[in-house]
Amino acid sequence: MRKDIKRLSSFLVLLFVCICIYPFSSYAESQKIFFWRVQTKNSTVYLLGSIHLLKRDVYPLSRIIENSYDKSDFLAVEADIADIGNIDMTQVLNNAIYQGDDSIEKHISRDALAVVQKEAGRLGLPFELIKIQKPWLLALTMQSLELMKAGYDPEYGIDKYFLNKAQGKKKIFELESFDYQINLLSGFSDTEQELFLLYALKDLDVLTREVDKLIGAWKTGNVRVMETLATKSIVDESRFYPIYEKLIIARNRNMVSRIENYLQSRGTYFVVVGAAHLVGKNGIIQLLKNKGYSVEQL
């Protein structure tokens, strides 16, 4: 059992930054894409919205994206998930797995447990595997398994693609780090972890049906539709807003500070960040505009 959990935790490293996810056809080069450029006197920052789990047929990407990457000096991502060998998996497990006789039943409500058991049964997950996972890990586990059933794979994620291209060729910066993200979720209180779990499992059985909508918005650069999909849960149920604020809004502010550092330095930076972080009045694009930067969608 412990071996199975360790294997699962290693896999989840590849998709951890995925909070909101969603087959793919080829790009129409005449359309806008989910891609922006910000320029100052000495620096250019490209901002590409990422989907962290995709299928192979997403590639090749738009020539606009590839050409912009080729002329960039640096790559920046939320977390360098390609550097998995330097991640302390013991620490990950300690933050993700209950120890001794502790289990998830002691930390979430009966109603939440009933939701978990229902979805686990549909996914074919044994309860012995479920009960030792903390809610935040279980949320990612079940969400990722649902997408994997439909053929989605973190190996084809946009961030993973560019991290592989950059190895040994471009300097890689992190907007956050894997440790930061682990500490964020493992630092949630029991109440917050239950909310995050319910947030992730809400409409899980129709998640793959939402994929076409999200990908369609992404490949055509439709910001309005992307925002609607990314905020659907908190619009439908306001109780999830505190989780959204911590997972998206607060992180957006921190990432904008890093991006500003790039804009105030010299060089060309290619920044890959989850698409949900770019949209809305609290999204990275609007926050940069609020600070006076001219942001152009390509």
Q: Tens digit of pLDDT for each residue in 69-102?
A: 999 999 999 999 776 666 677 777 888 999 999 9
CA–CA dist 259, 153 (Å, integer) = 28
With CA atoms as reference, report the closest residue to 175 among 81, 88, 53: 81
- How many domains are contained in the chain? 1
With CA atoms as reference, report the closest residue to 51 among 29, 18, 77: 18
Report the pLDDT value the prediction gives residue 82, as an integer from 0 to 100.
73
Query: Is residue 23 scored above 80 in pLDDT?
Result: no
CA atoms within 13 A on the CB side of 259: 33
Answer whether 0.75 is exceeded by the pTM. Answer: yes
| Average pLDDT over every residue of 261-283 | 96
Query: Is residue 20 scored above 50 in pLDDT?
Result: no
pLDDT in tens, 140-156: 999 888 988 888 888 89
Report the pLDDT value the prediction gives residue 85, as an integer from 0 to 100.
61
CA distances from residue 99 to 2, 73, 145, 166, 251 in whole angstroms, order as listed: 11, 45, 24, 39, 30
Amino acid letter, residue 96: A
CA–CA dist 139, 135 (Å, integer) = 6
CA–CA dist 109, 128 (Å, integer) = 18
pLDDT in tens, 89-142: 777 788 899 999 999 999 999 999 999 999 999 999 998 999 999 999 999 999
| Average pLDDT over every residue of 256-274 | 97
- Percent of all residues in the chain with a pLDDT value above 70, rounded to a whole number: 88
Amino acid letter, residue 170: K
Per-chain mean pLDDT for the chain = 87
| Average pLDDT over every residue of 31-53 | 93
Cβ neighbourhood burial of 293 (10 Å; 0-12, 13-18, 19+): middle
pLDDT in tens, 198-257: 988 988 888 877 877 888 889 889 999 999 988 887 888 898 899 999 999 999 999 999
Cβ–Cβ under 8 Å, residues 64 and 288? no
Matching residue, tokens 């309860």:
127
pLDDT in tens, 51-61: 888 889 889 99
Which tokens belong to 218?
A: 């992404």
Please calculate the CA angle 201-204-208 and round it to the nearest 5 degrees: 145
Between 287 and 240, residue with greater pLDDT: 287
All residues at 6 or more sequence positions from 161 whose CB lies less than 8 Å from its CB, including other chains: 59, 61
Report the pLDDT value the prediction gives residue 35, as an integer from 0 to 100.
97
Query: Is residue 24 scored above 50 in pLDDT?
Result: no
Report the pLDDT value the prediction gives residue 9, as an integer from 0 to 100.
46
Which tokens belong to 105?
A: 């039943």
With CA atoms as reference, report the closest residue to 145 among 247, 11, 49, 17: 11
State the greatest distance between any 2 C-alpha atoms of the chain, in Å, as a whole number. 59
Range of the domain at 75: 2-297
| Average pLDDT over every residue of 158-177 | 95
Between 286 and 93, residue with greater pLDDT: 286
